[in-house]
C-alpha cells in the first residue's frame, strides 16, 4: 500500500517536470506535443519523462507511432497527503472564520 515518496519529491523538484505535469493536468498528450511546448531537446524531455514514470507520476500508452502521456493523480495525491501530514491534527493556524468586522 505504501509507496516510497523519495522519487516523487525528486521528480517535483525540477521546474520542467512540474510544467509537464501542469500540462498533463489539462489532458493527456503525446511526447511530441509536450516536446513542442518546450525549448529543450527531445532526449532531454525523454529523460524527464523517465523520472516522472519512475515516480509513477505519469502513465504511458502507445497509440500507433505515438506515446501518450497522462497524469497519475493518485501519486500526486499521496505526496500531497504527506505534506499535509506535516500539520498536526486540529491545527487551525491558517483557518479563518469570516467574523472579521472590516
Write out the residues near its own copies by the rule CB under 8 A. 6, 9-10, 12-13, 15, 18, 21-22, 25, 71, 73-74, 76-77, 79-80, 83-84, 86-88, 91, 93-94
62 - beta bridge partners?
Answer: 67
**Least separation in angstroms between CB 15 and its own copies:** 6
**Least separation in angstroms between CB 64 and its own copies:** 28
**Least separation in angstroms between CB 1 and its own copies:** 15
Query: Residue 75: which of its own copies, DNA, none does it interact with, CB under 5 to 8 A by kind?
Result: none
Nine cell digits for residue 71: 497524469
User: What one-character-per-residue DSSP string does 43-89 give?
Assistant: HHHHHHHHHHHHTTSEEEEEETTEEEEEE-HHHHHHHHHHHHTTSPT
Q: Are 75 and 21 in contact (CB under 8 A)?
A: no
Amino acid at each position: 500500500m505504501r509507496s516510497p515518496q523519495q522519487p516523487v519529491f525528486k521528480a517535483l523538484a525540477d521546474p520542467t517536470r512540474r510544467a509537464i505535469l501542469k500540462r498533463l493536468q489539462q489532458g493527456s498528450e503525446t511526447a511530441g506535443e509536450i516536446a513542442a511546448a518546450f525549448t529543450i531537446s527531445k532526449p532531454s524531455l525523454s529523460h524527464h519523462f523517465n523520472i516522472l514514470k519512475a515516480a509513477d507520476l505519469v502513465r504511458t500508452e502507445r497509440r500507433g507511432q505515438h506515446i501518450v502521456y497522462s497524469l497519475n493523480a493518485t501519486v500526486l495525491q499521496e505526496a500531497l497527503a504527506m505534506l499535509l501530514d506535516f500539520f498536526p491534527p486540529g491545527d487551525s493556524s491558517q483557518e479563518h472564520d469570516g467574523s472579521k468586522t472590516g
